[in-house]
C-alpha cells in the first residue's frame, strides 16, 4: 500500500488558494479507482514548520504532496504559531528528506517557483516534482487530478507526471509546461546478482554478535602501515597496498563506475537506497557535457562509506581495488583519499 501524505498551508497574510478543492479532487480520483485499496490518504492542513518532522515520522508516507505558496529560492511558505507566513528554507527541506529517504519515494511540490526545492530534495528522493514558475489554482488542481489518475491506474511516477501535464494541456491552459520532474529510473536495480558475496552465515560461520559491525582503523605514519579489523573474538592484520595510478586520459570512467556499482549492489545492507542514490547522482553528473569531477567524487565517497558498513564489504575489496584505482586517477588529486577505503595508498 502506498501512503500519501498531503500537506497544505495557506497563511493568513497570503492570497487565498483552493486547497480544499485540490484535496477533495485527489481523494475522489483515488476512491473511484478499482485499485483504491492500494492507497491510503492522510491530510494535514495549516501546516507549521515544527509539524514537518512529526508528520513525516508519525505517518511514514510513501508520497509527500505539498500544496501552498512557494517563494523561489527563499523556500516554501508554511505557517507560524499565529497563522502567518514562516518560510522553510530549501537547504532545510533537503536535510529533512535526507532523514526519510528510506521510505519516501516521491515528493510533489504543488507551489509556485518550487523547482529549486525539488532540485535540492532530489539529492535524496528518487522522484520530485516542482514548478518552474508561478502556477494558478486551476492548473495546479488539474495537474494533481491527472497525476493521481495515473497513480490510481498503477502507472509509474514518470507516467503520472506526464498525465498531470497533459491534464492541464487538455483544458487549454498554457501552464502545462510549468511542472518539472527530477527522477531516477534505476534500471540496474532490477538486475539480480549472479554471484552474491557470501555472508558469514552462508560460509557456515557462527556470528553471535548480530548487532555489531567490523571496523577498520589505520595506524602508523608510513605508506605501508597496517589496519586492524576487530570483532568480539578475532583480530587480523591487513597491510595497506601501495599502487600506481594510470594516466587519467586512459580511464573509461563510465565503465569503472558501472563496475563499482555492480560490485556494491551485491552487498547485504540496510543502506541500499543511500548507495543507489549516490551512484545515481554520480551518473547524472557524468551525463552532463562538462561533468564536475568533484560532484562525482563526493557521490562516490558517500556510496563507499555506506557500503563499508555492510556485511561482506571486506570480502569485496579485492574486486573494488582495481576499479577504484582507475576511478581515483580520473577524479584527480582531490580524491586520492578514496583509496584508503579499500586499504590502498599511493
pLDDT tens for residues 75-118? 999 999 999 999 999 999 999 999 999 999 999 999 999 999 99
Helix axes 253-264, 313-331, angle to 10 degrees: 160
Backbone angles phi, psi at 46, to 5 degrees: 50, 45
Sheet harboring 215-219: ordered strands across? 215-219, 226-230, 235-239
As a whole-number percent, the residues of the chain with pLDDT over 70 amount to 84
Model confidence at 255, pLDDT cuts 50, 70, 90, reads very high
**Residue 16: count of CB within 10 angstroms of its CB:** 7
**CA distance linking residue 47 with residue 84, whole number of Å:** 11
Is the pLDDT at 213 greater than 70? The verdict is no
Q: Which three cell numbers stand for residue 150?
A: 495515473
Pairing of strands 106-110, 85-88: unpaired
Residue 221 has a pLDDT of 37
User: d(Cα 66, Cα 109) in Å, to the nearest integer?
Assistant: 5
Distance of CA 144 to the CA centre of its chain: 23
In sequence order, what are the residues at sequence separation of 6 or more whose Cβ sits closer than 8 angstroms to the Cβ of residue 216? Answer: 227, 228, 229, 238, 308, 343
Model pTM score:
0.57
Handedness of CA 111, 114, 115, 117 (dihedral sign): negative
Element (H, E) at 245: none
Report the share of the chain in percent with pLDDT over 90: 66
Q: Domain boundaries in the chain?
A: 2-183, 215-345
pLDDT, mean of residues 155-179 = 95
Distance, CA of 258 to CA of 268 (rounded, Å): 18
Band (231; pLDDT cuts 50, 70, 90): very low
What pLDDT score was predicted for residue 187? 38
Give the per-residue pLDDT at 234.
39
Quick check: 133 and 140 in contact, CB under 8 A? Answer: no
Q: Look over the chain and give the mean of its residue pLDDT values, rounded to a whole number.
A: 84
Position with higher pLDDT, 254 vs 231:
254
Q: Is the pLDDT of residue 201 over 60?
A: no
Average pLDDT over residues 172-190: 78
More confident residue, 211 or 35: 35
Alpha helices in 8-136 (DSSP H): 19-31, 51-59, 90-98, 115-121
Residue 224 has pLDDT above 60, yes or no: no
Model confidence over 37-73: pLDDT tens digits? 999 999 999 999 999 999 999 999 999 999 999 988 8
Q: What is the pLDDT of residue 204?
A: 41
CB 324 within 8 A of CB 338: yes
Tens digits of residue pLDDT in 290-332: 999 999 999 999 999 888 888 678 888 888 999 999 999 999 9
pLDDT at 337: 86
Q: Which of 342 and 204 is assigned the larger pLDDT?
A: 342
**pLDDT beyond 80 at 194:** no
Provide the pLDDT for residue 240.
Answer: 64
Query: Is 29 within 8 Å of 4 (Cβ atoms)?
Result: no
The residues with which 106 forms a beta bridge, in sequence order, are 63, 127
Other residues' Cβ atoms within 10 Å of the Cβ of residue 98: 14
> What kind and span of H or E run contains 262?
helix 253-264
With 70 as the cut, is the pLDDT of residue 215 above it?
Answer: no
DSSP letter, residue 75: -
DSSP letter at 118?
H
Read off φ and ψ for residue 230, nearest 5 degrees.
Answer: -120, 150
Q: What is the pLDDT of residue 26?
A: 97
Place 345 in a pLDDT band, splitting at 50, 70 and 90: confident
| pLDDT at position 207 over 70 | no
Residues 207, 213, 219, 222, CA torsion sign: positive
Pick the CATH number of 2-183 from 3.30.1330.30, 3.40.50.300, 3.40.50.720, 3.40.50.1460: 3.40.50.1460
DSSP state of 177: G
C-alpha cell at 326: 582507475
Radius of gyration of the chain (CA): 24
> From start to end of 132-200, where are the E strands?
179-183
pLDDT at residue 241 in the model: 79
Amino acid at each position: 500500500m502506498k501512503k500519501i501524505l498531503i500537506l497544505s498551508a495557506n497563511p493568513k497574510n497570503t492570497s487565498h488558494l483552493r486547497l480544499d478543492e485540490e484535496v477533495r479532487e485527489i481523494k475522489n480520483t483515488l476512491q473511484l479507482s478499482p485499485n483504491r485499496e492500494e492507497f491510503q490518504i492522510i491530510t494535514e492542513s495549516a501546516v507549521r514548520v515544527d509539524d514537518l518532522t512529526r508528520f513525516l515520522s508519525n505517518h511514514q508516507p510513501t508520497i509527500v504532496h505539498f500544496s501552498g505558496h512557494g517563494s523561489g529560492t527563499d523556500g516554501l511558505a508554511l505557517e507560524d504559531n499565529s497563522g502567518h507566513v514562516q518560510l522553510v528554507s530549501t537547504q532545510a527541506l533537503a536535510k529533512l528528506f535526507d532523514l526519510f529517504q528510506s521510505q519516501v519515494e516521491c515528493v510533489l511540490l504543488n507551489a509556485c517557483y518550487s523547482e529549486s526545492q525539488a532540485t535540492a530534495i532530489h539529492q535524496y528522493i528518487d522522484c520530485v516534482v516542482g514548478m518552474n514558475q508561478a502556477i494558478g489554482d486551476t492548473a495546479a488542481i488539474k495537474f494533481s487530478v491527472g497525476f493521481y489518475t495515473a497513480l490510481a491506474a498503477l502507472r509509474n511516477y514518470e507516467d503520472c507526471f506526464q498525465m498531470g501535464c497533459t491534464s492541464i494541456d487538455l483544458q487549454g491552459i498554457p501552464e502545462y509546461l510549468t511542472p518539472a520532474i527530477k527522477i531516477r529510473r534505476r534500471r540496474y536495480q532490477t538486475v539480480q546478482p549472479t554471484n552474491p558475496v557470501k555472508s558469514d552465515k552462508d560460509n557456515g560461520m557462527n556470528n553471535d554478535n548480530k548487532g555489531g559491525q567490523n571496523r577498520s582503523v589505520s595506524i602508523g605514519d608510513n605508506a605501508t602501515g597496517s589496519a586492524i579489523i576487530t570483532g568480539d573474538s578475532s583480530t587480523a592484520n591487513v597491510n595497506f597496498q601501495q599502487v600506481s595510478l594510470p594516466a587519467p586520459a586512459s580511464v573509461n570512467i563510465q565503465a569503472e563506475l558501472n563496475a563499482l556499482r555492480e560490485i556494491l549492489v551485491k552487498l547485504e545492507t540496510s543502506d541500499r537506497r543511500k548507495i543507489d542514490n549516490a551512484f545515481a547522482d554520480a551518473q547524472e553528473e557524468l551525463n552532463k557535457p562538462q561533468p564536475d569531477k568533484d560532484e562525482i567524487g563526493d557521490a562516490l565517497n558517500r556510496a563507499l562509506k555506506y557500503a563499508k558498513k555492510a556485511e561482506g564489504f571486506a570480502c569485496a575489496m579485492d574486486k573494488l581495488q582495481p576499479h577504484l584505482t582507475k576511478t581515483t586517477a580520473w577524479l584527480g588529486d582531490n580524491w586520492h583519499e578514496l583509496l584508503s577505503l579499500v586499504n590502498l595508498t599511493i
